[in-house]
Structure 1
Amino acid sequence: MKIDQIHHVAYRCKDAKETVEWYGKMLNMDFILAIAEDHVPSTHEPDPYMHLFLDAGNGNVLAFFELPTKPEMGRDPNTPIWVQHIAFKVKDRDELIAFKDHLEANGVEVLGVTDHSIFHSIYFFDPNGHRVELACPDPEEEAMLARLDSVKWDMLEEWSRTKRAPQHADWLHAKELSKG
């Protein structure tokens, strides 16, 4: 048995219409489906909701739930805001910069471009407070991924023992592509 792909990823939203319009305008995602019911199909709870589905490209679907009867949505106060996010891949650095310019021209505060060596990213928040990342591959991505693949288990084992960042891939953000 093997998973084929992610069917969809779902988040909560504050306002369904605002969310659809924002993702359409800012990230060019098409609105592909809406489902609204007064009872949750899996649990049969009485809980009206609007469930939205957006085309995130290449068969990927981003979904949202608006839950008007629930308390205002919040975040886990024990998890830093930079941790929980969704990242979308764009073709190349030129497209990444074009998105950055487009977002900023529309009043969205953008952090980056951040160079992670294997990819380059920008970060921003959607109108629901969800952190979003756009990332493009680095031209040398394949070679760097091979280096990272060769040390992933050693890194995981060391982290598991020490809870300290292993130095096997410290070149990623140090900009030192030493010979391995």
Structure 2
Amino acid sequence: MKKTKNENTEEQILKAAKNIFQSKGMDGARMQEIADKAGINKAMLHYYYRSKQLLFEAIFKNAFSLLAPQLNAILNDDSSIEEKIKSFTLNYITFIIKHPYLPNFIIQELNRNPEFILKLKENKGFPNIKKFKAQVENDVKNGLIKPISAEQLFINILALNIFPFVAKPLIMAFTNTENKTYEQLMEDRKIEVADFIINSIKK
């Protein structure tokens, strides 16, 4: 029973902290506020996580560890570049719709602590584009796609997938859309983004 209780407590802490960090950011969040939201005292919170930084990293790594292996598997499977673009876009957007705080978490932490990415790169499932790069170079050489570097193509994929979530308020303002319409736009992008990128590199 004690083990279950401890696991439940940690789950409550992570859930509460995720909500606070999402709404107030790393700098605006307070450990006392997280403890209150989790329904525990501050001493108990510090027993599980000695500092706000460690708590933030735990949430970040937990979410990133769910997404990164999926993307890495896509980049390194035996599918074509076209299928990789489709799968990457579908998986990324589907995941972020369920975890909307993650893109801003990444940008926020990398701006605040640029060396944090080095810790993430140590994880086994961190995306590796070596095979993707070789495929792109081979397809360009064989005239299957327009000349483009794998790095530029990968940046295009990342940018078109990530930006709409990072800039949600801006996009909603520019397009004069409500939340429901924005959500549908993101659903549509599962296909729109992949088609746009594939058409841009087709011969």
Please indicate the TM-score interval, normalised by the length of the shorter structure.
under 0.3
Which of structures 1 and 2 has the larger relative contact order (alpha carbons within 8 angstroms, sep 6+)?
2
Larger strand percent: 1
